[in-house]
Structure 1
Amino acid sequence: MTRKEFIKICGILGVSLPFQAAFSACNKDDKGSFSEKVIIIGTGAGGLSAGYLLNQHGIEFEILEASATYGGRMKRTTDFADFPIPLGAEWLHTKTSVFQEIVNDDAQTVEVNTVGYDSQVDTEGNWDNGQLTVNELVDSDRKFIDSTWFDFFDEYIVPSVTQKIVYNTIVQSIDYSGEQIMVKTSNGEYTADKVIVSVPLKILQDGDISFTPSLPEDKSAAINSATVWEGFKAFIEFSEKFYHTATSFNITPETDGQKLYYDASYGQDTSQNVLGLFTVGKPALDYISRSGDELRDFILKELDEIYDNKATASYVKHMVQNWNDEPFIKAGYLSDHEDWRKVRTLGESVADKVYFAGGPYTDGEDWVSVHAAAQSARSTVDELVK
């Protein structure tokens, strides 16, 4: 069963995704007998969530981040439009109650404004073989209003871990052969009793972090054989809105990736018409291989073909986010069509010392999304402190 099939079945049956119960099972005051130090590598959704939960347990930890900022693929900008633009994670793929569950504190009121799509009003175009077919848009995902996943973490999760983050520290190796774990970085060595690895899967595939001893054979095989899609997003402002709420493309085979134009201004209190382009996998290569005016003209030509030459005539400006060019991310994310058993292996801990948290490191029931990364952190911390 693929990730998309699993989520679809949950929606048909009207049930919540299974991570929600796991959040409510945590007792944030239960430190137990755990008195060791934990090093977390990476400040994406998984790493930040792991640190936040360890802090709730009162456990000593430190977070090593290769770049100068936190957030990973939750990156966003406030410079392009009069509302925040998510350059990475954008939609909420589950119920809004997940925000309170991630915060894991009944005393903390969480307020995040989102909006769902309206099948009575919103339309979806499908572009296939030069033909545009238009239907009502049926989509259970939700858009953030004047906010993003990054803003949620920035407000509710980061304040309790910010003093524990060490930036511009590139992890090069993890030696877990001894009683204590030695983490070698570009800024020297760190020691810990446990390590939580929360880096993009492409970093491990490229061998940017070495392990001593080597990771178990099944773990290494899962890492090296997993399909990590390329990732690209663009945002284009137009003087008029000529496009549908979403316009999808038929990708064959569907395991090659995804491609979608969508109304990035949807639900926002704005007069700006901003169209987003989201594409992962092989379809992203058409955009990653271009830059500057060539890339702009390629996108406008494509939109002109779909929308009767209205794109170029109303073009204002654009911006792009090529995730393959991010030095500490290097790609989009783990394929939606990956084998769930391989994903489960990716999420398994090693030798009761090295743990994994984040979008690709789950129990195989869901992966990649921000809420799945947060649940992965929950499961990892629960296992670590048991």
Structure 2
Amino acid sequence: MIIIIGAGLSGLLTAYRLKQEGIPFKILEARTRVGGRIHTVYGTDNTPLELGATWFGTQHKYLIAVLKELGIDYFEQYMEGTVFFQPFATSPAESIQIPSQPPSYRISGGTSNLINTLYQKLDKDEVLLDQPVKEIKFHENSVQVIAKDVFEGNRVILCIPPKLWAKKILFEPHLPSDLMNIATQTHTWMEDSIKVALTYDQPFWQQENLSGTLFSNTGPINELYDHCNHKRSKYALCGFINASFKNLAYEERRACVVDQIKNVFGEKAGEFVDYEECIWSEEENTFEESNSAPYPHQNNGNPIFNKSFFDDKLLISGSESASEFPGYMDGAVYSANVTAKKIAAAHK
């Protein structure tokens, strides 16, 4: 049996690929939900709000191939109308022309549509939630994984960010020091992000020929985009807050956000139905303190993650370990495909 650590995109897709090959597995997930850093919440009127991974482009061919394979639609990010830019705290937002760029896309029904589709293809007893892994022991012919319960298998796949397994899981025997050094210095994508989303009864910005897009040097919001659903029947704005605002109390941070969007878009922006946010550095199953601040994507795709360890009993998968598009959903898909192929070949 293969034991997969983590029920994010990489873990679930690896499991689905193994299931297609008839190879038994168990996924152990620390959270009480699947998806990892893909986290869609649904507003009062069921508007999908992305508090985690959201956008992708035509270059992300592995992700697009999986969406097509599973029959999941995707749609272009709405960017029509005026874009605002706030250069300084002392000056109002100004309308700007942004140079023509390749479109980005979102998954119809929310990014969690991909997660839920994969999850539904697995049996419920194959994915165990609320099982944070504390220890992994490698024996001559088996692997023992100690979480809330104890599991035995012949291989284990780490499908969580390298910094997490390096700092939270005890390995016996120890992992090689060069692998541990790289892992502890690997940036976890999303770990510093704060996402914010607001739902509305009407898309007031579209009615005023505004794109809903804001770029700001001042914050709290650095970037904001139209976040209506693919049918444009549910209305929202979604974006990123400057990470330093995590130090404010929730009410204070929310008030700053509302003040900013009212200043930029007018009073109607304050008439929202839902306000949702996610501070990823407060998610213990995503964030782990670094010894020194890593730069974005530091060590993502490092070749050491392609190796297997302990006579092929340990494999590393996941977004950060991918050798193509590491740190993105596309990397998670690429990694899952490669890892599942390796295991299928070994089983044959």
1:276 to 225, 238, 243: 238
Partners in 2 of 1:169 and 1:197 — Cα distance?
A: 14
Partner secondary structure for residue 134 of structure 2: strand
Partners in 2 of 1:51 and 1:312 — Cα distance?
A: 43
Structure 2 residue runs of 5 or longer lacking an equivalent are: none
Q: Which residue of 1 aligns with 2:267?
A: 310
* Percent of matched pairs sharing the same residue: 19
The correspondence of residues 217-296 of structure 1 with structure 2, limited to 5 A, is 217-228=177-188, 229-238=191-200, 240-241=204-205, 244-250=211-217, 259-265=222-228, 267-270=230-233, 272=235, 274-279=236-241, 283-286=242-245, 288-296=246-254
2:160 to 196, 199, 217: 199
Partners in 2 of 1:100 and 1:139 — Cα distance?
A: 16
**Contact conserved, 2:76 with 2:106, CA < 8 A, in 1?**
yes
**Contact conserved, 1:50 with 1:377, CA < 8 A, in 2?**
yes
Q: Which residue of 1 aligns with 2:39?
A: 75
Change (3 A) 1:376 1:166: same
Partners in 1 of 2:52 and 2:328 — Cα distance?
A: 11
Change (3 A) 1:320 1:81: farther
Partners in 1 of 2:62 and 2:183 — Cα distance?
A: 28
Aligned-pair CA distance for 1:219? 1.1
Aligned-CA RMSD value: 3.0
Aligned-pair CA distance for 1:43? 0.4
Aligned-pair CA distance for 1:144? 2.8
Structure 1 residue runs of 5 or longer lacking an equivalent are: 1-36, 252-257
Q: Which residue of 2 aligns with 1:300?
A: 258
What is the identity, as a one-letter code, of the residue corresponding to 1:141?
S
The alignment covers a number of residue pairs equal to 327
**Contact conserved, 1:222 with 1:346, CA < 8 A, in 2?**
no
Alpha-carbon displacement from aligned partner over 1:322-376 (angstroms, at most 9, x marks no partner)? 22222322379x96442456x333443323111111111111x311222220110
The correspondence of residues 1-386 of structure 1 with structure 2, limited to 5 A, is 37-94=1-58, 98=62, 101-102=65-66, 110-117=71-78, 121-130=80-89, 132-136=94-98, 138-145=101-108, 147-156=109-118, 158-187=120-149, 189-205=150-166, 207-228=167-188, 229-238=191-200, 240-241=204-205, 244-250=211-217, 259-265=222-228, 267-270=230-233, 272=235, 274-279=236-241, 283-286=242-245, 288-307=246-265, 310=267, 313-330=270-287, 336-339=296-299, 343-351=302-310, 352-363=312-323, 365-386=324-345
Change (3 A) 1:230 1:271: closer
Q: TM-score of the superposition, structure 1-length normalised?
A: 0.74
**Contact conserved, 1:202 with 1:329, CA < 8 A, in 2?**
no
225-234 or 312-321, which moves further after superposition? 312-321
Q: TM-score of the superposition, structure 2-length normalised?
A: 0.82
Change (3 A) 1:203 1:362: same
